[in-house]
Amino acid sequence: MRKNFLGSGLLTAGALLLVYAAFDDITTDNATAFPVEYSLLALCAGWLLVLTFRLLSAGRLALGWMSLAALVGALWAQPAIVRGAASGWRTEYTVIIAAYVWFWIVTAALIRSGWHPRTAS
């Protein structure tokens, strides 16, 4: 299981970097359509959903259920992130940032548990 958590953590870190790049491109580029960026976001959301179910099936219920809540929140909030979106506080922005930070926490937990597995008692 050690390699499994480490690999999942590293893959999640890569996905989160792609999410950041996609959102940055969507919000700052002058293009009128972003099919590559939205495809990357869909792919990353798919991985995060798989990761969530893997966490739940591995008995990491707190991480799994919070990840599911974060992913559902991010999917709800994503349509508000568009090119030229008004700056300022919006609930959707807060939800996206909270979900993003949450998945970095999950990533750190997975990588840590991959390097330092629990010892059987």
Q: Is the pLDDT of residue 3 over 60?
A: no
Which of the pair, 100 or 89, is modelled with greater confidence? 100
- Helix, strand, coil percentages, rounded to 5, for the chain: 80, 0, 20
Domain borders along the chain are 2-115
CB 119 within 8 A of CB 12: no
**Position 118 confidence tier, pLDDT thresholds 50, 70, 90:** low
Burial class (CB in 10 A: 0-12, 13-18, 19+), 24: exposed
Q: What is the pTM of this model?
A: 0.84
pLDDT tens-place string over residues 12-71:
999 999 999 998 888 888 888 889 999 999 999 999 999 999 999 999 999 999 999 999
Q: d(Cα 81, Cα 71) in Å, to the nearest integer?
A: 15
Q: d(Cα 99, Cα 95) in Å, to the nearest integer?
A: 6
Q: d(Cα 13, Cα 104) in Å, to the nearest integer?
A: 7
